[in-house]
């Protein structure tokens, strides 16, 4: 089996996920990109190859439990372990932050499909995928789990009604990230006596399909925190919510 560290990045074919794969590849890790669309996944692999980065792709739809099991089979068969899991895939069905800020009654009128679908992608599937892959992460000498969250999931931030972020009315998205942060804390606590570190990453407001054109940072910058947390030393933090080394209140 290869001694090269293996990283699985869900939603890794574009945006923050692609940049995360690129930066890890530049550091000598083997990025495995999970993407729903095979053509887009292969395109991402080909693009990385032109940069001198060796990467792999597996078909992965976060909403399909069978893809969770297929991912386990892939890493088990090819590597017998997984060193890094970056739960990057996510979705918002409420529009970008600028548009959402203009909707005054979004929370009281959020629809059941929007709330359920957002929680399914951003929370439930992260939990179930992590559970499925955890036996392989436990085989790593220093496993790392990175849950890509958002400052919008910080209850402390949202409770300060004077801040611009408090006016972003993406209730379903924000709630899914708050729940994701809870998962980070609980799992980190359970694994605190192991070599595995579990943290939430805040990429910032990134200009992507999800963040919108008004984002204040690039996917390259947004990926830096995920890469930082994926490559933490043995004495690095666990159970934290971070943007690079800045700790964000829960």
Helix (H) or strand (E) holding 233: none
Q: Is the pLDDT of residue 213 over 60?
A: no
Check residue 67 and give its pLDDT.
97
Range among 161-170, 183-192, 200-209 with highest mean pLDDT value: 183-192
Q: Are strands 197-201 and 56-59 parallel, antiparallel or unpaired?
A: unpaired
pLDDT in tens, 73-100: 999 999 999 999 999 999 999 877 666 6
Check residue 166 and give its pLDDT.
84
Give CA separation, 66 vs 72, 146, 152, in Å. Answer: 10, 22, 30
DSSP letter for each residue of 52-74: T---EEEE--TT-HHHHHHHHHH
Question: How far is the C-alpha of 176 from the C-alpha of 167, rounded, in Å?
Answer: 17
pLDDT band at 212 (very low <50, low <70, confident <90, very high): very low
Check residue 207 and give its pLDDT.
55
Question: How far is the C-alpha of 94 from the C-alpha of 92, rounded, in Å?
Answer: 6
Mark residue 239 as left, alpha or beta (left: phi above 0; alpha: psi -120 to 50; beta: remaining): left
Decide if 223 contacts 16 (C-beta within 8 A).
yes
Average pLDDT of the chain, as a whole number: 92
Q: Is the pLDDT of residue 160 over 70?
A: yes
Give the pTM.
Answer: 0.93
Q: Which domains does the chain have, with CATH numbers?
A: 6-90+123-151+173-247 (3.40.50.720)
What's the rounded mean pLDDT across residues 20-40?
96
Q: Are strands 30-35 and 144-148 parallel, antiparallel or unpaired?
A: unpaired
The DSSP 8-state label assigned to residue 161 in this structure reads T
Question: How far is the C-alpha of 16 from the C-alpha of 163, rounded, in Å?
Answer: 25
Q: Is the pLDDT of residue 211 over 50?
A: no
Q: Are strands 197-201 and 144-148 parallel, antiparallel or unpaired?
A: parallel
Give helix then strand counts, H and E, for the chain: 9, 8
């Amino acid at each position: 089996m290869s001694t090269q560290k293996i990283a699985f990045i869900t939603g890794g074919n574009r945006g923050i996920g692609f940049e995360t794969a690129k930066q890890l590849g530049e550091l000598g890790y083997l990025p495995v990109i999970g993407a729903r669309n095979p053509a887009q996944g292969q395109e991402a692999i080909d693009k990385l190859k032109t940069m001198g980065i060796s990467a792999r792709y597996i078909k992965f739809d976060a909403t399909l439990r069978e893809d969770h099991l297929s991912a386990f089979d892939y890493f088990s068969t090819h590597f017998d372990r997984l060193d890094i899991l970056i739960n990057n895939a996510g979705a918002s069905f409420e529009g970008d932050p600028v548009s959402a800020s203009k909707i005054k009654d979004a929370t009281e009128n959020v629809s059941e499909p929007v709330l359920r679908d957002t929680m399914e992608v951003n929370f439930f599937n992260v939990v179930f995928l992590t559970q499925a892959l955890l036996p392989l992460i436990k085989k790593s000498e220093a496993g790392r789990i990175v849950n890509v969250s958002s400052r919008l999931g910080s209850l402390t931030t949202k409770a300060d009604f004077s801040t611009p972020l408090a006016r972003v009315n993406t209730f379903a998205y924000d709630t899914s990230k708050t729940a994701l942060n809870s998962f980070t804390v609980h799992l980190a606590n359970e694994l605190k006596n192991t070599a595995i570190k579990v943290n939430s990453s805040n990429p910032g407001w990134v200009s992507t399909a999800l963040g919108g054109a008004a984002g204040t940072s690039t996917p390259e910058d947004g990926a830096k925190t995920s890469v930082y947390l994926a490559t933490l030393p043995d004495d690095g933090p666990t159970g934290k919510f971070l943007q690079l080394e800045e700790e964000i209140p829960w």
